[in-house]
Structure 1
Amino acid sequence: MRRSLLLIHPGALGDVLLALSAIRAIRAAFPTHECGLIAGEQVGRLLFACGEVDRLFPLEQGSLAGLLAGAELVASGLRSWLDKADLAMGWMKDAEGSLAATLYALGAGRVIIRSPFDAGCMNLHQADRHLEIVASMVGEERTARPLRLPEAILQAATASLAEAGVRKEQMLVAVHPGSGSPHKCCEPGWFVKLVAQLQALGAVPLLLAGPADTEQVQAIQRSCAASPLVFGGQELISVAALMAQVALYVGHDSGITHLAACLDVPTIALFGPTDPERWAPRGRHVEILSGAPCLCNEWNRVQTCTEKRCLQVPIEQVIESCLGGLRARAKSTSADQFRSSLSCHA
């Protein structure tokens, strides 16, 4: 019987993806173990499909709630998993130690529970904080690689794009105008300009609409001279498959932006009131753009700020960055008309 690991991360999409390097480091340190994950169902299903974990225990099914309530309320499947677990690792708070006590009581050989928000963490970047917490058990080597989506999911996304009228030779630019907070978002008018300029370049903007982005996306659609494609209401893994088809991605400090970076999509990340040194996705394929330095030193000031100077990124700067990414992609495609359009803006 294979031994197991249990990883716990109750955070949102971006928070969990920032833990991906740490998850991989743990798996490398325990190569023969099966890896279980307690996390949100959407991000958990994504990581399971990509082969990053072997078993998902969704938060929505009460997996963590049962552990927090006591050993007697833990479901049988999770009990069996912990009975063969050599490690239970949780990136969260456990001030009174009750979670750790339950994990030990159910058979975990070693338990580490610590939040990456802990003031005692020495590193600045959130990904490094996740790694810092597990440093005592993992090696120094880090392997950066994109998420690998199943071929069937990718084919389904290709079919969806074809049904929407997208031709294979067209250059898609995914644009996500939302985030987890409206205070991290550029105004809809800014995106209207971005969409128009991308269309003028011959690219096909594709607006990604999450559950909280409806108002923002509708405002953009109403103001665009030529309405862009909009994809919304899909499961996260389907969104990931769509994003894997695009030439470029533009978005805010959001979980979807981290997903684009994890898929190795050339990414332009717009940062305003949040610190990119702490929160930005990493990689040579990621470019961070910001407006003026943010002067709001507390989040309540960010919430009441009306100027949003930090999010006033010059559209010309963004388009120049888009051009660089699209030119690089156009060199490897047979889209002669698209290359000709780009050459007019050289």
Structure 2
Amino acid sequence: MSPAPSFETPASEAQPSAHPRPIAVLVDREGLGDSLLKLPFLRAVRRAYPDHPVWWIATHQTSMARELAPFMRPLLANVIENAGITTPPLPVIANLRKLPPFEMVFDSRTRGLTVLLARLFLKHRGFYCCLPGYLFSSRRPPGRFSRPRGIAARMLSLAEAAIGGPADWEGGLPVSDAARAFAAATLPDGATYVGLAPGSREPRKNWPRERFAALAERLAASGRTPVVFIGPQETAVRDELRRAAPSAIFPDTTARLELAVAIAERLAAAVANDSGIGHLLAATRTPLVSLFGPTEVARWAPFTRHGIVVSAKDFGGDTMEHIPVDAAFAAVETLLAQDGRPGR
């Protein structure tokens, strides 16, 4: 059984009442991709309200406290997991009342009762949530009456509602000099590198590995250098792709997520499944080709200004096998021609 959540204010955040109240963000269970889709919103809130510390409060686990924790230190003052604010109602009310007064609350959850309980029992000066029609929100985003379908755009609309106008959301992820030195040694200047991310947590979302290998060789034949991202549990995938795509580079980024970010910064473009690494590439502003099969593009597409979605539905199906290599290669060529990031 998980330990009971602690709602004590950290010593570093213990403040006199005259100091700015914190801002609360309430979320459900979050994997890496889920958290990264909320990163533009978080940037926007921190820039709009720099004096208010942000508390990230999760009903279960969140990558904000795990893989992304090193990147979140400048943005988050406190992260609470397993907060006990979902069900049953009476313990939820008690846990909500233990939390401090907030300047505003942003609730990303979509269950009406849990959102209503937060609205009623958290102390706040403003409340913003993702329910249809922005029900229970203090106000709607300017000019908007229905919520966006996409997770990232939906969250960003809550920031716009609080701010009362456009939100400043763009940015990258902080990387140490040591990580950048590793990336520069692995991918020296002078080549045009294209990232390939063949994995995800769900096999149904994975483009066939032989097509990633074929794409790698097609890129190499066109004068680009493929760079393959392999997760710590994907040793068999790495060995198979090394045999099938001998022209590719396989950097070892499994020790720290920061190394993958530093490698991504040196890419001219990338191709990824609907996956956490795909959202990470988007968060680094890498021009990105996203491959979608059974999952919904409008809801889960990475949030980026430099991206192309290639969907199986465009080729008559809803499985990843329907996406041809030619389509992925053409999308990469389009991104490279747009020069969204200088080639290296």
Determine which of 324, 327, 331 is the counterpart of 1:321: 331
Cα distance, 1:112 vs structure 2? 5.2
Which residue matches 1:243? 264
Which residue matches 1:340? none
* Deviating more after overlay: 133-142 vs 203-212: 133-142
Aligned equivalents of 1:186, 1:136: Cα separation in 2? 38
AA in 2 matched with 1:8: L
Which residue matches 2:3? none
| CA RMSD between the two structures | 3.8
Relative to 1, partners in 2 of residues 1:286 and 1:130: Cα closer, same or farther, differing over 3 Å? same
Partner SS, residue 162 of structure 2: coil
Relative to 1, partners in 2 of residues 1:26 and 1:103: Cα closer, same or farther, differing over 3 Å? farther
Count of residue correspondences: 307
Query: Percent identity of the aligned residues?
Result: 23
8 A Cα contact 2:41 2:169, kept in partner: no
8 A Cα contact 2:107 2:115, kept in partner: no
Relative to 1, partners in 2 of residues 1:232 and 1:115: Cα closer, same or farther, differing over 3 Å? farther
8 A Cα contact 1:207 1:230, kept in partner: yes
8 A Cα contact 2:228 2:248, kept in partner: no
8 A Cα contact 2:195 2:264, kept in partner: yes
- Residue-by-residue CA offset, 1:265-303 (whole Å, 9 max, x unaligned): 11111112223222212444111113344877xxxxx7x
Which residue matches 1:90? 107
Which residue matches 2:9? none
Partner SS, residue 165 of structure 2: coil
8 A Cα contact 1:42 1:235, kept in partner: no
Question: What aligned pairs does 1:141-160 form with structure 2 within 5 A after superposition?
Answer: 141-150=166-175, 153=176, 155-160=177-182
Determine which of 255, 259, 281 is the counterpart of 2:280: 259
Partner SS, residue 321 of structure 1: helix
Cα distance, 1:111 vs structure 2? 5.2
Aligned equivalents of 2:228, 2:279: Cα separation in 1? 16
Cα distance, 1:176 vs structure 2? 0.5
Cα distance, 1:233 vs structure 2? 1.9
Aligned equivalents of 1:214, 1:99: Cα separation in 2? 46
Cα distance, 1:231 vs structure 2? 2.9
Determine which of 31, 37, 51 is the counterpart of 1:32: 51
Which residue matches 1:185? 206
Relative to 1, partners in 2 of residues 1:161 and 1:17: Cα closer, same or farther, differing over 3 Å? closer
8 A Cα contact 2:40 2:152, kept in partner: yes
The runs of at least 4 aligned residues of structure 1 exceeding 6 Å deviation read 71-74, 118-121
**TM-score, normalised relative to structure 2:** 0.72
Aligned equivalents of 1:327, 1:113: Cα separation in 2? 39
| Structure 2: gaps of 5 or more residues | 1-18, 136-144
Determine which of 3, 16, 23 is the counterpart of 2:42: 23
Cα distance, 1:84 vs structure 2? 4.8
Question: What aligned pairs does 1:117-266 form with structure 2 within 5 A after superposition?
Answer: 122-132=147-157, 136-150=161-175, 153=176, 155-164=177-186, 166-211=187-232, 213-226=234-247, 228-266=249-287
8 A Cα contact 2:85 2:114, kept in partner: no
Aligned equivalents of 2:110, 2:160: Cα separation in 1? 18
AA in 1 matched with 2:281: A
Aligned equivalents of 2:153, 2:342: Cα separation in 1? 34
- Residue-by-residue CA offset, 1:225-250 (whole Å, 9 max, x unaligned): 44531434233333222211211111
Relative to 1, partners in 2 of residues 1:141 and 1:225: Cα closer, same or farther, differing over 3 Å? closer
Cα distance, 1:216 vs structure 2? 3.3
Aligned equivalents of 2:255, 2:116: Cα separation in 1? 34
AA in 1 matched with 2:200: S
Q: Does 1:286 align with 2:307?
A: yes
8 A Cα contact 1:93 1:114, kept in partner: yes
AA in 1 matched with 2:330: E
Which residue matches 2:66? 42
* Deviating more after overlay: 240-249 vs 229-238: 229-238
Aligned equivalents of 1:65, 1:35: Cα separation in 2? 19
Cα distance, 1:66 vs structure 2? 8.2
AA in 2 matched with 1:236: L
AA in 1 matched with 2:178: A
Cα distance, 1:193 vs structure 2? 0.6
Relative to 1, partners in 2 of residues 1:46 and 1:140: Cα closer, same or farther, differing over 3 Å? farther
Relative to 1, partners in 2 of residues 1:232 and 1:332: Cα closer, same or farther, differing over 3 Å? closer
* Deviating more after overlay: 233-242 vs 263-272: 233-242
Cα distance, 1:319 vs structure 2? 2.3
Aligned equivalents of 1:231, 1:99: Cα separation in 2? 46
Cα distance, 1:183 vs structure 2? 0.6
Aligned equivalents of 1:140, 1:157: Cα separation in 2? 37
Which residue matches 1:274? 295
Which residue matches 1:299? none
**TM-score, normalised relative to structure 1:** 0.72
8 A Cα contact 1:186 1:312, kept in partner: no
Aligned equivalents of 1:291, 1:37: Cα separation in 2? 35
Aligned equivalents of 1:331, 1:65: Cα separation in 2? 43
Relative to 1, partners in 2 of residues 1:326 and 1:46: Cα closer, same or farther, differing over 3 Å? farther
8 A Cα contact 2:32 2:276, kept in partner: yes
Partner SS, residue 218 of structure 2: helix
